[in-house]
Amino acid sequence: MIQITVIQIDNYGPWTVTPNPRRENDLQALQSRLYEDLNLMFGMYGGLVFYTRFDNLIAITNGISLEVHKKIQESVRNRYPFTISMAIASAETPYEAQKLATKTLQEYGSAQDSNRREVLDVANELVNGYVQIAHIDINNVTGTFTDVYSAYDTYLKVNEVKLLLMKEFLKYEALLFFIGGDNFMAPSNGMNEEDYIKIFDNINKKLNLDLKAGVGIGKSAEEAANLADIGLEEIRGKRVDKNICILKNDKFFKEVLRKGKSCGL
Amino acid sequence: MIQITVIQIDNYGPWTVTPNPRRENDLQALQSRLYEDLNLMFGMYGGLVFYTRFDNLIAITNGISLEVHKKIQESVRNRYPFTISMAIASAETPYEAQKLATKTLQEYGSAQDSNRREVLDVANELVNGYVQIAHIDINNVTGTFTDVYSAYDTYLKVNEVKLLLMKEFLKYEALLFFIGGDNFMAPSNGMNEEDYIKIFDNINKKLNLDLKAGVGIGKSAEEAANLADIGLEEIRGKRVDKNICILKNDKFFKEVLRKGKSCGL
Amino acid sequence: MIQITVIQIDNYGPWTVTPNPRRENDLQALQSRLYEDLNLMFGMYGGLVFYTRFDNLIAITNGISLEVHKKIQESVRNRYPFTISMAIASAETPYEAQKLATKTLQEYGSAQDSNRREVLDVANELVNGYVQIAHIDINNVTGTFTDVYSAYDTYLKVNEVKLLLMKEFLKYEALLFFIGGDNFMAPSNGMNEEDYIKIFDNINKKLNLDLKAGVGIGKSAEEAANLADIGLEEIRGKRVDKNICILKNDKFFKEVLRKGKSCGL
Amino acid sequence: MIQITVIQIDNYGPWTVTPNPRRENDLQALQSRLYEDLNLMFGMYGGLVFYTRFDNLIAITNGISLEVHKKIQESVRNRYPFTISMAIASAETPYEAQKLATKTLQEYGSAQDSNRREVLDVANELVNGYVQIAHIDINNVTGTFTDVYSAYDTYLKVNEVKLLLMKEFLKYEALLFFIGGDNFMAPSNGMNEEDYIKIFDNINKKLNLDLKAGVGIGKSAEEAANLADIGLEEIRGKRVDKNICILKNDKFFKEVLRKGKSCGL
Ligand SMILES: Nc1nc2c(ncn2[C@@H]2O[C@H](COP(=O)(O)OP(=O)(O)OP(=O)(O)O)[C@@H](O)[C@H]2O)c(=O)[nH]1
Ligand SMILES: Nc1nc2c(ncn2[C@@H]2O[C@H](COP(=O)(O)OP(=O)(O)OP(=O)(O)O)[C@@H](O)[C@H]2O)c(=O)[nH]1
Ligand SMILES: Nc1nc2c(ncn2[C@@H]2O[C@H](COP(=O)(O)OP(=O)(O)OP(=O)(O)O)[C@@H](O)[C@H]2O)c(=O)[nH]1
Ligand SMILES: Nc1nc2c(ncn2[C@@H]2O[C@H](COP(=O)(O)OP(=O)(O)OP(=O)(O)O)[C@@H](O)[C@H]2O)c(=O)[nH]1
Ligand SMILES: [Ca+2]
Ligand SMILES: [Ca+2]
Ligand SMILES: [Ca+2]
Ligand SMILES: [Ca+2]
C-alpha cells in the first residue's frame, strides 16, 4: 500500500487576478517556494513531494500522520498569502491512491469555491505500507543532447520522453514526474523488472534514446528514493549488466516484488 | 529583437552523486530555490526566468546589462553549493536567440567539464528590442478537469496540451513554457493573431479543449507579461469577442506586429 | 532537564573573505535563510532555534533524536556553500546545557579549524525532559515608542531592554533571545513567578517601562512556546490580574514549578 | 547626503495573534525570509537592509528610485500574508535621515492602524549622495571567545559591545547594526578616522577587547560596504599600521571626508 497526499492551493485562480493580475515573477517565486517548503517539511518525515501543476501537488506520505499534515497546513497558512487543502489516501497503486485522495477533496467543493478552505481529510486509512520508486535517467544526456543541441531542443526532447513515459507507466497504474535535468521519478508500487524493461524498449524504439533506472523499495518515499539512487549508481558503475537495478530494504520487506529479483542477485 | 539568457549549473550531474547520491528532497528544494531566486533577481530588472530543466534555465533578459548578469552570477556563487554559467544572445525570434546563446556556452566546454566554471559571455549583442509574450490558459480547467478528474489525470492532460503547444509554436520559432495550473507562456516575437488562432484550432481538434491567450508586447519581459495578463482578463471579462487579445505598449512601439491589430481595436 | 543544541557554521570566517570579501547582501541573505531553514526543520519535531550570532545558533531540542539532527546536518551540506557542526547537551538549566554543548564542540577543534567539519556529538544524554519558556513583551510598545520615536531610537531602547534582561536572566542560569518587534523569549527551566516579577521590577526601575510574560511549560520547545503565547493573551485579555501567566501541559507534568502556581489558579 | 528607507510591516502585532497566537517557528521563518528577500531585492540596486526589529527594518537606499521601492512593496504583497509600508528620507547623517523617514510614516497613522496599508512616501527628496559605512570587527574573536567561552557567554559579550557601540556612534548621529558573528556595520556619513579611533578606545577601556574597522565611502551602500570589506582585509593583512582603513571611490567623490586621509596614503 502506498499513501498519497493530494495538495491544492485554495481558490488560487481568482486570487492570482484580484484585484489585478499579479506579477508573473512573483507568482513563479511564490509557487516554487511553496514547492520547496513542502519538500523540506514533508521530507523531515520521509515524504517526497512532486510539483505537478504547482497549484495542485502530489506527495508520497507513507508513515506520515494526520498531525504532521496539520502542522504543515498551519505553517503554510502562517507564512503564505493563501491556504492549502489536503486529502490523503492509500491504495495498492499510486494512481488509485491519488484518485481516491482527489475524490475526497472534490467532495468538499470546487478548487475555486471561496468557502472551501483548509480541508484536511483521509479517504480511507493512513498506512505504513511500502513505497516503490523508479529513478529514471537518460543515458549520456550531456554528450548526446546538452552539449550538442540547443537548450530548448533538449528541453523539447525531455518533454517527449516525459509524456511517453507518463502514458506507459499509467498502464501499470504508476505515476511519473520530472525531477530536473534528464531525470524522472515513477512511484510504481507493484511493477517488476520486466515491466520497466518493456517500457524502456518502447521508448527506445519511438525516440531512439536509452534509459536506465534504479528502483528502490522502502518504508518511506525517502528510503525508496535513496535506494533508487544507489541502484542508479550501480548501473553507472557497471556493477550490474542491465539498465535496471532494484534494491529493497530487507529489514522491512520480505516479499514485495511480484517476481522480485533484487539487483545484483 | 528578443534577448535570451541561457543559464546552466556548472558540472551539476557529477555533484549530485558525489560522494554519494544526495537526498532527492534536498535537490528538489535546492533547484526550486534557485529558480525562485533567479526570478526575483532578474525580475528586479524586468527579466523573466523559466525553469525549463531546472539545471538549464531560459530567461528573457531584454534591457538587462552584463553587469547585472555578473551580479546575479556572483550572488549564486556566494549562496549555493555550486556555480552557474550564462550566455546571452539576441535574435529576431526566441528560438534563434536561445540557440545562439547555447552555442556560445557550448564553445566553452561541456556542461560536465569540471574546468568550465562561471562562463559569462554574449553571443552577439545586448539589445533593448522588444518582447512578445502570449499567456495561454485553458478555458474552465476547474469545471472540466480539476473538479472532475483525478489530480494526475488532469496533470497528464495538461502535459499533452503542453507538448502539442511546444511543437506548434516551434513552427514559428517561438518557445513555450508551463507556468503552473493550466497556464503557459510563449515568448513569441513576430507572431500575429492569425498564427495563435491557427494553433489553438489545431489543439482544439486534437485534444478537444479551448484555449485563450492574452498577448503582450513590451520593452521587457515583465511589461510584456503584464500586458498579456491584462489581455487575458479582457477575454475573461468578455470585453473582446475572440480568444486572443494582443496589447502593446504604444509609448515604446509603433510598428511591431506584422499585421498588428491591437485587441479591441 | 532541557536539551540544547549548539550549531556552528564550520570555518565560516575565512570563507566569507575567500578569495575576496563576499558581498554583504549575500551574506545577510544566506545567514537569514539558514536561520529560517533550521527553524522549519527543527520545528517539524517541536524544536525552536534562536539566531544568536547567525554563525553560532542555539536551539532547544528536547525529544529530538540524533538521527533527526543528522538529517538536518546533511540537508545543510546539500544546499549551502558550507557545512555545520552540532553538539547536543542536557542539563537542569538552559545555561548549563549550552555550556556543556559548547564544550563538546570545542573539544573537536577551533571554529576556524579547516579540518573540523560536520561534528555531531552528544555531551551527555538525549532527554525528553521538559522546556520552560517565557515569552516576554513590552506593554504598548506601539503607543509609547513605535508611533512616537524614530525607528532607531525605539530599536536602541529595545536593545537596552534586551541586554538588561540577558543579565538578569543569567542570574537564574536562564537564556534570553530577541525574537522581533518588542518580544523576547527566555528558555528558563526552574524559574518561578516571583523570579520573573523581580526581574521585571528591576527593568521597570532602570528603564521605566512595563513588561509582561506568558510562561509555558511543555514537553517540547514548541509546546512551551505555544503555552507561553496563550499566557500572554490571557494577560492582554485581562483575564489575569498580573503581568505573569504560567501555563503547563498537565498531561505531561505534575510537579514542575518550584513553587508553581498556575496562571488563573 | 545618505538616503534611508524605513520599512514597517502593516498592523503586524494584531496579525500575529489572530485568531490565535501563531506558531513562533513560523513567525521566525517568516520574518527572516522577509529580511532575506528585502536584501536580495534592494541589493539588486545597490541597497542594503538591516533587520533591526524584523517588523521595522532600516535600509540604505541611495540612488534607488520610488519605482523600485514600489515594485518591492508589490512583490511583498504578492508573496506574504501581510503588506509593508515604506518611507524614504535623505539627510546629512543616517540618524537624521531615519528620523525624518519615521516621522513621515507616523503621519499616516499608527503601525497598528488597520486602515493604514502600503504607505509609500518620501519625506524630502531622493538623492544620489554618498554612503559611508564602517564594517567593524572584533580582533580574534575565535581565539579569545568562540573557542574558549560558551556560545551564550560569547553572545552576551557581543551584545555588550553592540549596545556600547550603538551609544557611542549615536553621538555622531551614526547608526550601528549587528550583522552576524563578531561583525557590525555603522552607516556613519561624516565621521573621520579620529572619531572611530576614539570610539574604539572607549570600548577597549570598558570591555577590554580590540576592534578594527574598514570604512568605505561610495555612491551606494553596496559600494561602501565592498570598500569597507577591502579596508578590513588591508588591516588583517597588516598592510596598514592602524585599526582603521578608510577607502573611497575616487571616481565618484573628490572631497568627502572632513579631514579625509585615505587608508594607506
Ligand atoms: N533531481 C535530480 N537530478 C539529477 C540527479 N542526478 C543528475 N541529475 C540531473 O541530470 C543532469 C544530467 O546529469 P547525468 O545524468 O549525470 O549526466 P549524463 O550525461 O546523462 O550521464 P549518465 O546519466 O551517467 O549517462 C544533471 O545536470 C542534473 O540536472 C539526481 O539525483 N536528482
Ligand atoms: N502562473 C500563473 N498561474 C495562474 C495565473 N492565473 C491562474 N493561474 C493558475 O491557473 C489555475 C486555474 O485558474 P483559472 O484559469 O482562473 O481557472 P479556470 O477554471 O480555467 O477558469 P477560466 O480560465 O476563467 O475559464 C489556478 O489554480 C492557477 O494555478 C497566472 O496569472 N499565473
Ligand atoms: N516574534 C513575535 N513577534 C511578535 C509576536 N507578537 C507581537 N510581535 C511583535 O511585536 C510587535 C508589537 O506588537 P504588540 O506587542 O502586539 O504591540 P503593543 O503595542 O506592545 O501592544 P501590547 O503588547 O498589547 O501592549 C509586532 O509588530 C511584532 O513584531 C509574536 O508572537 N512573536
Ligand atoms: N556578516 C559578516 N560576517 C562576517 C564577515 N566576516 C566574518 N564574519 C563573521 O565573523 C565571524 C568571525 O570571523 P573572523 O572575524 O574572521 O574571526 P576572528 O577570530 O575574529 O579573526 P580576526 O577578525 O581576523 O582577528 C565569522 O564566523 C562570521 O560569522 C563578513 O564579511 N560579514
Ligand atoms: Ca543521465
Ligand atoms: Ca483557465
Ligand atoms: Ca507589546
Ligand atoms: Ca573578527
C-alpha cell at D31: 520574518
**3-state class of C196 per DSSP?**
helix
Q: What was the pLDDT predicted at D257?
A: 43
Domain at B22, CATH number: 3.30.70.1230
- The answer, yes or no, to whether any atom of ligand 1 lies below 6 A from the CB of B13, is yes
In a domain, C263, yes or no: no
**How far, in whole angstroms, is CA C238 from its chain's centroid?**
27
Domain check: are A115 and A135 in the same one? Answer: no
Surface-to-core class of residue A217, CB atoms within 10 Å of its CB (0-12 exposed, 13-18 middle, 19+ buried): buried
Query: What is the predicted pLDDT for the residue at D127?
Result: 87
Domains contained in chain D, number: 2
HSE-up (13 A, CA, CB side) for residue B112: 16
pLDDT, mean over chain D:
94
Tell me what pLDDT residue B247 has: 96
Q: Mind listing the pLDDT tens digit for each residue in A50-91?
A: 999 999 999 999 999 999 999 999 999 999 999 999 999 999
* Ligand 2 lined by B141 (C-beta under 6 Å): yes
SS3 of chain D: helix, strand, coil, percent, to 5: 40, 20, 35
* Domain co-membership, C99 together with C19: yes
Which element (helix H / strand E) includes C69? helix C66-79
Q: What is the CA(D152)–ligand 7 centre distance, in A?
A: 25
Q: Which of D24, D84, D165, D183 to mutate to probe the C interface, most C CBs <10 Å?
A: D24
**pLDDT at residue D249, as a whole number:** 82
Grouping H, G, I as helix, E, B as strand and the rest as coil, residue C3 is strand
> According to the model, what pLDDT value does residue A262 have?
59
Query: What is the pLDDT, as a whole number, of residue B253?
Result: 47
DSSP H or E run through D28: helix D24-43
Answer positive or negative: Cα dihedral of B79, B85, B88, B93: negative
- Alpha helix segments (H runs only) across chain B: 12-16, 24-43, 66-79, 94-107, 141, 151-170, 193-207, 221-236
In D108-260, which residue ranges form alpha helices assigned H by DSSP? Answer: 141, 151-170, 193-207, 221-236
C17 Cβ partners below 8 Å, 6+ apart?
D229, D233, D236
pLDDT band of residue C252 (cuts 50, 70, 90) is: very low
Contacts of A23 in chain D (CB under 8 A): 74-75, 78
**Residue A259, domain member (yes or no):** no
Is A227 a residue whose pLDDT tops 90? yes
Residue C17 shares a structural domain with residue C105: yes
Same domain, B228 and B160: yes
Rg from Cα positions in chain D: 19
**So what's the ipTM on this one?**
0.96
Q: Is the pLDDT of residue C265 over 70?
A: no
- pLDDT category at D252 given cuts 50, 70, 90 is very low
Q: Which three cell numbers stand for residue B25?
A: 528532497
A241 in the same domain as A136 = yes
The per-residue pLDDT for C256 is 39
Residues B39 and B93 in one domain: yes
Beta-bridge partner residues of C134: C186, C215
Q: How is residue D23 annotated by DSSP?
A: P
* HSE-up (13 A, CA, CB side) for residue A215: 30
Does A59 fall in a domain?
A: yes
Ligand 3 centroid vs C224 CA: distance in angstroms? 18
Same domain flag for A116 and A222: no
Angle at CA of residue B34, ends B28 and B37, nearest 5°: 135
Chain D residues whose CB is inside 8 A of the B71 CB are: 44
DSSP assigned state of B2:
E
Residue C265 within any structural domain of the chain? no
Q: Closest Cα to atom 31, ligand 1: which residue? A: B16
Query: How many angstroms separate the alpha carbon of residue C181 from the centre of ligand 3?
Result: 6
Which pLDDT value is given to residue C262? 59
Averaged over successive runs of 10 residues, the pLDDT of chain B (265 residues) comes to 98 96 98 98 98 98 98 98 98 98 97 95 94 97 94 98 98 98 98 97 96 97 97 94 91 44 54
> What is the reported pLDDT for B127?
87
Pocket test for ligand 4, best of D39, D50, D136, D137 (most atoms within 8 A of CB): D137
Shortest CB distance from A98 goes to which of B95, B150, B162?
Answer: B150
Q: Does a cis peptide bond (omega within 30 degrees of 0) precede residue B19?
A: yes
Does one domain contain both B86 and B64?
Answer: yes
Q: Are residues D93 and D59 in the same domain?
A: yes
Kindly state whether residues D247 and D143 are assigned to the same domain. Answer: yes
- Give A54's Cβ-side CA count (13 Å radius): 19
- Closest-lying ligand 1 atom to the alpha carbon of residue B14: 16
pLDDT digits 0-9 by tens, A88-107:
999 999 999 999 999 999 99
The CATH number of the domain holding residue B220 is 3.30.70.270
- Is residue D34 very low, low, confident or very high in pLDDT (cuts 50, 70, 90)? very high
- Report which secondary-structure segment, H or E, holds D98: helix D94-107
C203 within domain boundaries: yes
Looking at residue C122, the DSSP 8-state letter turns out to be: E
Cβ–Cβ under 8 Å, residues B48 and B222: yes
Closest CA to C181 of D15, A72, B233, B226: D15
The torsion angle over the Cα atoms of residues C194, C199, C203 and C206, rounded to 10 degrees, is 100
pTM: 0.96
Final residue before a domain boundary, out of D78, D97, D122:
D122
**Which of A141, A99, A259 has its CA nearest to residue A192?**
A259
Domain range spanning residue A89? 2-122
Among candidates B41, B45, B68 on the partner chain, residue whose Cβ is nearest the Cβ of D40: B41
d(CA D230, CA D214): 7
Sign of CA dihedral D4, D10, D14, D17: negative
Note whether residue C96 is domain-resident. yes
Among the candidates B68, B101, B122, a domain finishes at: B122
Q: Which helix (H) or strand (E) holds C60?
A: strand C56-60
User: Each residue of D164-218: pLDDT tens digit?
Assistant: 999 999 999 999 999 999 999 999 999 999 999 999 999 999 999 999 999 999 9
Residues A148 and A116 reside in one and the same domain: no
How far is C20 from chain D, CA to nearest CA, in Å? Answer: 8
Task: Dihedral sign for Cα D123, D127, D129, D132, please.
Answer: positive
**Radius of gyration for chain C, computed over Cα atoms and rounded to the nearest angstrom:** 19
- For residue A102, is it within any domain? yes
- Whether the link from the prior residue into A187 is cis, omega within 30° of 0, is no
Q: How far is A93 from D240, CA to CA, in rounded Å?
A: 70
Q: Which of D26, D55, D84, D105 has the most ligand 3 atoms within 8 A of CB, as the residue to mutate?
A: D55
Instruction: Count the neighbouring beta carbons within 10 Å of the beta carbon of residue C18.
Output: 10
pLDDT score of D262? 59
Say which amino acid occupies D78. Answer: N
Query: What 3-state DSSP class applies to D72?
Result: helix
- Sort strands B131-138 and B183-187 into parallel, antiparallel or unpaired: antiparallel
Q: In Å, how far is D241's CA from the nearest CA of chain C?
A: 20
Asked whether A56 and A8 are in contact (CB, 8 A), the reply is yes
- How far apart CA C209 and CA C205 sit, in angstroms, is 8
Given D122, D156, D180, which residue is the final one in a domain?
D122
Q: Are residues B197 and B247 in the same domain?
A: yes
Radius of gyration of chain A (CA): 19
Please compute the mean of the pLDDT values over residues D93-121 and round it to a whole number: 97
pLDDT single digits (tens) C152-177: 999 999 999 999 999 999 999 999 99
Residue D54 in any domain: the answer is: yes
B contact residues 24-53, partner D, Cβ 8 Å cutoff: 37, 40-41, 43-45
3-state secondary structure chain A: CEEEEEEEECCHHHHHCCCCCCCHHHHHHHHHHHHHHHHHHHHCCCCEEECCCCCEEEEECCCCCHHHHHHHHHHHHHHCCCCEEEEEEEECCHHHHHHHHHHHHHHCCCCCCCCCCCCEEECCCCCCCCEEEEEEEECCHHHHHHCCCCHHHHHHHHHHHHHHHHHHHHCCCCCCEEEECCEEEEECCCCCHHHHHHHHHHHHHHHCCCEEEEEEEECCHHHHHHHHHHHHHHHHCCCCCCCEEEEECCCCCCCCCCCCCCCCC
The DSSP bridge partners found for residue A4 are A60, A89
